[in-house]
Amino acid sequence: MGRGKIEIKRIENTTNRQVTFCKRRNGLLKKAYELSVLCEAEVALIVFSNRGRLYEYANNSVRKTIDRYKKTCGEGSSALTVSEANLLFYQQESSKMKQQIEILQNSNRHLMGEALSCLSIKELKQLESRLEKGISRIRSKKVNHFLCLFLLGDVTKIL
């Protein structure tokens, strides 16, 4: 009997996220060590926590492994500085965020009944189904609210 699969997404609870980070980091470091011993592979692992702490493992020197990597990739002379790498990373993240914002804005427009001409029949049916489910939940909540007010005898708030 194995463990169930988990959905890979950001853990919202900070305590759980920190515990998971520590456990998985230790597991990753152990796997790197095992790989280097069992297969005589040159391994270098560098992990930065979200707080900026550095964790590393290398069966050789990390610097030597990075230099070897650069030579192998042909980047020996054109290696990115840390600030250039950070800039590139944040530009990519910004681009992803802009795409997500655009998707959410389009979805919101569709829910408001705008910009529907670009949707297929299947997409329109899915949207209609989502809206009907939402209306059903709203009506149910409204009825429950009215019943609570009625049972409490607060008729003035109902009208």
One domain, residues 125 and 93: yes
pLDDT tens for each residue of 33-46: 999 999 999 999 99
Strand partners, 56: 46
> Of 55, 77, 99, which residue is a domain's last?
77
One domain, residues 43 and 67: yes
One domain, residues 148 and 106: yes
> Of 26, 59, 77, which residue is a domain's last?
77
The dihedral sign for the CA sequence 57, 63, 68, 69:
positive
- The CATH number of the domain holding residue 55 is 3.40.1810.10
Q: Which DSSP letter does residue 13 get?
A: S
- Single pTM value for the model: 0.45
- In the predicted model, what is the mean pLDDT of the chain? 87
pLDDT higher than threshold 70 for residue 2: no
- pLDDT tier at 130, thresholds 50, 70, 90: very high
Strand partners, 58: 44
- pLDDT tier at 136, thresholds 50, 70, 90: very high
For residue 145, give its domain range.
82-154
The predicted structure's pLDDT at residue 119: 87
Please report which residue ranges of 40-154 form alpha helices under DSSP H: 62-73, 82-111, 121-152
